[in-house]
A and B are shown apart, each in its own frame.
Chain A
Amino acid sequence: MNYRNISLFSMVFVFLIIVGFSQSWNVAFGLLNLCLLSAIMSLGVNIQWGYAGLFSIGTVGFVALGGVAAVVTSMPPVEEAWRAGGPGILTALIAAAITIFIAIQIWKRVAAGIVRNILMIIVLLGGFFIFRGILDPATAIIEKINPAGTGYLGGLGLPVIFSWLVGGLFAAGAAWVIGKISLGLRSDYLAIATLGIAEIIIAVIKNEDWLTRGVKNVTGIPRPTAYEVDLQKSETFISNVNWIGLEVIEASSLYVKFSYGILFIIVLAIIMWLSEKALNSPWGRMMRAIRDNEQAAAAMGKDVTKRHLQVFILGSAVCGIAGAMMTSLDGMLTPQSYQPLRFTFLIWVMVIVGGSGNNWGAVLGGFLLWFFWIEVEPIGHWLLSILTSGLPDDLPFKEHLLKSAAHMRLITMGAILLLTLRFAPKGLIPEK
């Protein structure tokens, strides 16, 4: 860390403090929490792209899997649904696993040729029909049980902090499957495969109501911190707040945001410490060697595909962890909010702008870009209202412009990405 980097980070904090004074401290802390989450996500993408040069654009899928993890670990189980449909779901999943296992065995043991192809088709199709035959009635029963309130299986009722790890595991599992398939092919194929798998993951989350309630959203996911309502009733909290001289309602919400912030900083610090250790170890040097010249690294005896798979899984797991953290911050899972532009491309811009290959750069990018992502809208609105101030108020054109200010975000982010790629491809904090 030199003076330049320290001043870049201080700049972000000055921005946040300005927001705190000019808008409100609640907004500033809310921003800070999401900045921290963005930093974790961009660390994940940095592991894939910065260390190893893997072009994966399925971040949104891994983040969404983290969200699902938050639901299935921490929500209380819906006992009735488990009794009615649980065995069916479990049998169906076991049937699917057995099918895939048999298919893999056929693939390995039977000699290549038409016999193997026919066997594979029979096993996979048969397995698919059996799977659907068991799954469909079970899901129908589950979704009928109190559809307005639950209508899904619920979770395991474990503490929500635990789900952050589970989110990482979910994402790692998905990454293993995708990596097995598409790593080792040319770079664009990994991109398109990850884009596709992300779409599918989100389609599953939107439509499998028995698992995630689909578009009905899961609300009331337990929190790792205190609740505002409880704080507002607590005698000690009120007396403390009065002693500082704040309003109770505002202080309670600040307190909650602050506790989330502390938790997030701890997670970010752990991941950051591990990333720095990894990057500056023989493993990290090997990764960079593979990234810079695959053939040379392979000639030195490095298993390029295996290392790629490893780093792909690690990066996805970090995104999954951040996804679970974000869902527990929101307290709800909203499948419709998983937009690729917001969760894949924005994170990519963060890494590129911050400095790919440098962990501090990724973190800085996460902070800076999230700040701009949020603040561009008011700035854009303000700019447009100045530009159009000469026009009469009832002009439809002016109304349209002001209403469209929200889309300034995409244009700004795209422009930032293109300008960085062109004029400062190493980013704000370049790799050493």
Chain B
Amino acid sequence: MDALHALIVLANFVIVPAIAYGSQLALGALGITLIVGVLRFSNFAHGETMAFGTMLVILVTWWFQSLGLSIHPLPTALLALPLGILGCIAMVLLTDRFVYRFYRKAKSSPVVLVMASLGVTFIMNGIIRFVIGPGDQRFADGQRFIMKAREFKEMTGLKEGLAIKVTQSITLVTAIVIVVALFWFLNRTRTGKSMRAFSDNEDLALLSGINPERVVAITWIIVAILATVAGTLYGLDKTFKPFTYFQLLLPMFAAAVVGGLGNPVGAIVGGFVIAFSEILITYAYKKVFTYLLPSDFAPSTLIQLLSTDYKFAVSFSILVLVLLFRPTGLFKGQST
């Protein structure tokens, strides 16, 4: 019985949140990895792309709410998502046209492109703060829980509760749908195949008549969709704050590198690896051990490996370990 209680505590505070967070990171890391694969540079503006898309979704959500539109019990943001995605697509295509295309044509070194992406980060960060402000924005509405901790206790008669938020399940479902659609696109459609060919061997792809600008444009469109969805899900699950999205860059990059840069399957696995390690290492296990150990040995401290303030240290350490021991990532990615 105690073991079951311990398991439920673990599920409630570690497994369920980590699955949701992992899905968000996986979607973000997919975007980064696609850019590395096709455009061959690390896009430091990815966190900002997410924030920009999410900001549009929030604005549309507010507009819909003022119109009285809603899809209760689901959050209105889901209804606003398509419009946000369209706006985000327009934005990334514009930045590609006015910023990145020049360096691509000039065959500049990747470092110059990375630096240009820093410039884009700056501008977008400014625009986002200009429009919606630097503070927290909550935009989740609709029903909050699928199952409340109390309901679970009444249902099962156990002492510990298991709460599942609506946003957590939406995150998982959306992530699965998006990922399935993406892999179908990459593996089954002609355009997707040309994208993969371009990523594998640019010269060969060009020789076989693939239009590079079209591949690049489609990559940006997919990246914008992934980024907006990931950002909106993260914002619904937690809260929207521009600076937090900038900071997400580190775990997302770590996820992409762990999986192998340029490898979509790797990015998804990487996202979950990072999310689970981050939460497992910063979780305080006191309650779990209180159930598992005989009462004489009950722990007096929190039994927390690292305080949650150091969650960046977790993704960073994983990143460094992977770079040191397996620079191509768990699945084979690009490396030099």
Contacts and interface: CB of A to CB of B under 8 A. Distances in A.
Interface residues of B, number: 49
Contact of B313 (A195, A200, A410): A200
Interface string A408-432: 1111111101100110010000000
Contact of A200 (B119, B123, B316): B316
B253 interface: yes
Given A185-B327, A200-B312, A345-B122, A418 B320 contact: no
B155 interface: no
Interface stretch (A27-35, A37-45, A74-82, A186-194): A186-194
Interface in B110-144: 110-112, 114-116, 118-127, 129-131, 133-134
A404 B246 CA distance: 19
A313 interface: no
B114 A199 contact: no
B320 A193 contact: yes
A345 B117 CA distance: 12
A291 B210 CA distance: 34
B42 A413 contact: no
Given A341-B122, A409-B126, A417-B119, A203 B310 contact: yes
B313 A203 contact: yes
Most A CB contacts (10 A, CB to CB) among B44, B118, B133, B313 go to B118
B250 A188 contact: no
Interface in A323-373: 340-341, 345, 348-349, 352
A72 interface: no
Q: By DSSP majority rule, is chain B's interface helix, strand, loop, or mixed?
A: helix
Contact of A418 (B116, B129, B246, B323): B116
A206 interface: yes
B324 A181 contact: yes
Most A CB contacts (10 A, CB to CB) among B121, B126, B129, B246 go to B126
B63 to A, nearest CB: 15
Given A352-B115, A414-B123, A414-B126, A199 B323 contact: no
Given A341-B125, A411-B126, A188 B114 contact: yes
B119 A421 contact: yes
B39 to A, nearest CB: 12
A182 B127 contact: no
A314 interface: no
B244 interface: no
A196 interface: yes
A407 interface: yes
Contacts of A193: 316, 319-320, 323
B99 interface: yes
A10 interface: no
B309 interface: yes
Given A408-B126, A418-B119, A196 B133 contact: no
B131 to A, nearest CB: 8
B185 interface: no
Q: By DSSP majority rule, is chain A's interface helix, strand, loop, or mixed?
A: helix
Interface in A125-162: 128, 136
Contacts of B208: none
Interface string A187-221: 11101110111011001101100000000000000
A352 B323 CA distance: 29
A53 interface: yes
Nearest to B324: A181
B127 A411 contact: yes
Contacts of B312: 196, 199-200, 203
Contacts of B184: none
Contacts of B120: 414, 418
Contact of A192 (B111, B257, B310): B257
A422 B119 CA distance: 11
A131 to B, nearest CB: 12
B309 A199 contact: no
Contacts of A188: 41-42, 110-111, 114
Nearest to A192: B253
A188 B32 CA distance: 12
Most B CB contacts (10 A, CB to CB) among A196, A197, A199 go to A196
Contacts of A57: 118
A55 interface: yes
Contacts of A407: 126, 129-130, 134
Contacts of B319: 192-193, 196
Given A128-B305, A422-B102, 12 more contacts: A53-B111, A186-B335, A187-B114, A188-B114, A195-B249, A196-B250, A196-B312, A196-B320, A203-B309, A404-B133, A411-B127, A413-B126
11 contacts: A55-B111, A188-B111, A188-B114, A192-B253, A196-B312, A196-B315, A404-B133, A407-B126, A411-B130, A415-B123, A421-B115
Q: Which 4 residue pairs spanning A and B have beta carbons closest together? A: A414-B122, A410-B126, A411-B126, A414-B123
Interface of A: 53, 55, 57, 128, 136, 181-182, 185-189, 191-193, 195-197, 199-200, 203-204, 206-207, 340-341, 345, 348-349, 352, 404, 407-415, 417-418, 421-422, 425
